[in-house]
Chain A
Amino acid sequence: MNLFSLSAWRHRLLRYYPLVALSLTVGITALLLVTLAALPPLGEVGNPSHNLVSLKYIEDGLGDTGALNIVAGMILDYRAFDTFGEACVLFTATCAIIILLRSDTPDAYDTMLHQMEEPHTNIILQSVSFLLVGIMLVFGCYVIANGHLSPGGGFSGGSILGAALILYVNSYGIRRASHFINFTIYRRLVSFSLLFYAAFKGYSFFMGANHLPSGIPLGKPGDLLSAGLILPLNIAVGCVVAGTVYAIYVLFSQGEMR
């Protein structure tokens, strides 16, 4: 990371930059390896990090959140503010990419790129994706729906759905894909699911802060419709991530989302 206003004495500094950077990195790594010796060893039950906080999540996890998957219960109920921030990070990154890559005045360069992008009818890809896209969509919905019962959840399920959409765009071209997902649909999908996520999470924060019962039934553990808010939130996050993955891929590969 050299400073790049190239005045005279900075040239002499730049010559030593690789040496300084390498010694800095080796120094930091050596320091960290020495610190490892003083840190608690791997996998001991008595480590300080396995204290009352993690024990509470394990013991009361099912009771408080109703989710079999303790991690899903933790990220969507105990520490829900982090996951809300995370969904905002994804939303911020997508809008930043739209600012940079979405060229609204399609100059000569972009139209030329579209001809190159239009996939000539690639029989192998189309037949493979004809089989795969359906299965991937079903698997993505499964991962989202069972976020609170088995590993998975909104983020991984959403990116599986996004991958299915990318495969479809690659094999059948953007013109056919933009029938069911173009920029306006994308905008509404991401905005409404984020609004839904923010409103429901805000509601449960507000209720919790003022010590009022949030009145959301937790259902019988193990059922699909159990664990209170976690399922709808997973679905909302899944839609946000699926839309984001598709939009980022199309913006990168074609620079234009019709």
Chain B
Amino acid sequence: MYLEMALLLYLIVAAVTVFLRQRLLDAVIIYASYSVVLSAVWLLLLAPDLAITEAAVATGISGVLFFVVLKRIQAMDAEHSLDEEV
């Protein structure tokens, strides 16, 4: 009972922190942790199909994609600073 309360509280806290954090990398990391805790909540709701799908698909694909987009944006920044110097 209190485990459920704790996990759900974490979900809300993570959602608000993602909204408040200025740095993108923090927001994306917190969103990935939000998604992992959500897949634990699906287990508490007796839906194992959802837990494995959320963990593999939601965290596995969209979480990784957010990181790749950030890496690509930093790569573009590096490429642009290269242009300015030349």
Contacts and interface: CB of A to CB of B under 8 A. Distances in A.
A249 B63 CA distance: 11
Interface string B55-86: 11100110011001101100100110010000
Indicate the size class of the contact surface on chain A.
Answer: 20 to 34
B61 A72 contact: no
Interface stretch (A8-16, A157-165, A201-209, A217-225): A157-165
B30 interface: no
Interface string B11-49: 000000000000000000000000000000000000111
A205 B32 CA distance: 39
Nearest to A251: B68
The residue among A112, A249, A252 with the most chain B CB atoms within 10 A of its own CB is A252
B69 A252 contact: yes
Interface stretch (A49-57, A121-129, A148-156, A191-199): A148-156
A253 B49 contact: no
Contacts, number: 58
Contact of B52 (A151, A241, A245): A151
Given A116-B75, A252-B68, A253-B72, A152 B52 contact: yes
Interface residues of B, number: 21
A253 B68 contact: yes
Classify the secondary structure of A's interface with B. Answer: helix
A249 B64 contact: yes
A248 interface: yes
A95 interface: no
A248 B61 contact: yes
Contacts of A113: 75, 79
A139 to B, nearest CB: 10
A248 B65 CA distance: 8
B49 A72 contact: yes
B60 A159 contact: yes
A153 B53 CA distance: 9
Interface in A241-256: 241, 245, 248-249, 252-253
Contact of B48 (A151, A166, A249): A151
Contacts of A143: 52, 56
Contacts of A160: 56, 60
Given A113-B75, A252-B69, A155 B61 contact: no
Contacts of A252: 65, 68-69, 72
30 contacts: A71-B47, A71-B49, A113-B75, A113-B79, A116-B75, A151-B48, A151-B49, A151-B52, A152-B49, A152-B52, A153-B49, A155-B53, A155-B56, A156-B52, A156-B55, A156-B56, A156-B57, A157-B56, A159-B60, A160-B60, A162-B60, A162-B61, A163-B56, A163-B60, A241-B57, A245-B60, A248-B61, A249-B68, A252-B72, A253-B68
